[in-house]
Structure 1
């Protein structure tokens, strides 16, 4: 199964932007790790019929009332957990790993930090970054492919608004 993993979209829209809807067509499932922001955008994603999601800290009450804080489900024998905020650290994933172990999952998808992380130990930790509001990274998502219990991941670059810090850093090299 091919899955697209996203988080932290922070959109106030009743429609999915075309660059994202075209991407979503390629996948059988969309995992969203919270911070849709608005109920209309959540409903737009839900209307695809492919969505598995949790709420985030910035989601409006209507989204929080519908979606859980944590979600666990299975795909082809692989247990996947989803949560928005897994840890307070953006550099040390030890607490996130322990959370995955406590949840009893093989993969823990999380958001909140707006930059991609793929870390493999005895569990696989995935933060897809943000396709619309990245921090210290370009806009992106993560492709998760599960086949017969085997898991492959890939960071997918997305056309969109990049992080101002990254743009500034790139501009420094242009002056040389």
Structure 2
């Protein structure tokens, strides 16, 4: 089974942008780790029939009441947990590991950082970054392929606007090499 993990979309639209729609169609499930921002965008994703989601800290009140803070579900024998906030640092994922163990999951998908992380310990920790408002990264998501009790996770790039710092850094590098 193929899952697409996304987070921190922060969209106010009632349609899925083409750059996401074209990707979503290739996956069996879409896991959103919060911060849709609007009920309109949540409903657009929900209409795919593939969505599993939690609310984020910037989601409208109606979404925060509709969606759980934490979610646990199973795919082919693999327990997956989803939460938005919890990570306070991109360099120390220890609290997220403990949260995964507390939730009893093998994979924990979380958001809030807007920057991708895939870290394998005794649990698999995944922050998919943001396909629309990345920080210190390009727009991205994470694909999970679950097959025969194993999970492979890969960061996938999504077309869109990189964070300003990344664009500036690339410009400096290009100027230096010119």
TM-score, normalized by length of structure 2? Answer: 0.98
How many Å separate the matches in 2 of 1:116 and 1:173? 22
Let me know the Cα RMSD of the aligned residues.
0.6
How many Å separate the matches in 2 of 1:108 and 1:174? 37
How many Å separate the matches in 1 of 2:9 and 2:148? 31
Which residue number corresponds to residue 96 of structure 2?
96
Runs of 4+ aligned structure 1 residues displaced above 4 Å come to: none
How many Å separate the matches in 1 of 2:172 and 2:89? 28
Deviates more, 1:82-91 or 1:152-161: 82-91
Please list every run of 5 or more consecutive structure 1 residues that lacks an aligned counterpart in the other structure. none
How many Å separate the matches in 2 of 1:126 and 1:89? 13
> Contact conserved, 2:35 with 2:55, CA < 8 A, in 1?
yes
Which residue number corresponds to residue 143 of structure 1?
143
Which residue number corresponds to residue 122 of structure 2?
122
Matches within 5 A, 1:52-131: 52-131=52-131
How many Å separate the matches in 2 of 1:115 and 1:35? 14
TM-score, normalized by length of structure 1? Answer: 0.99
Instruction: Using the TM superposition, give the Cα deviation of residue 71 of structure 1 relative to its aligned residue in structure 2, in angstroms.
Output: 0.1
Instruction: Using the TM superposition, give the Cα deviation of residue 2 of structure 1 relative to its aligned residue in structure 2, in angstroms.
Output: 0.4
Please list every run of 5 or more consecutive structure 2 residues that lacks an aligned counterpart in the other structure. none
Instruction: Using the TM superposition, give the Cα deviation of residue 88 of structure 1 relative to its aligned residue in structure 2, in angstroms.
Output: 1.5
Which residue number corresponds to residue 45 of structure 1?
45
SS at match of 1:127: strand
- Aligned pair count reads 176
Which residue number corresponds to residue 33 of structure 1?
33
Instruction: Using the TM superposition, give the Cα deviation of residue 139 of structure 1 relative to its aligned residue in structure 2, in angstroms.
Output: 0.2
Instruction: Using the TM superposition, give the Cα deviation of residue 62 of structure 1 relative to its aligned residue in structure 2, in angstroms.
Output: 1.2
Cα deviation digits, residues 87-107 of structure 1 (max 9, x gap): 212210001100000000000
Which residue number corresponds to residue 24 of structure 2?
24
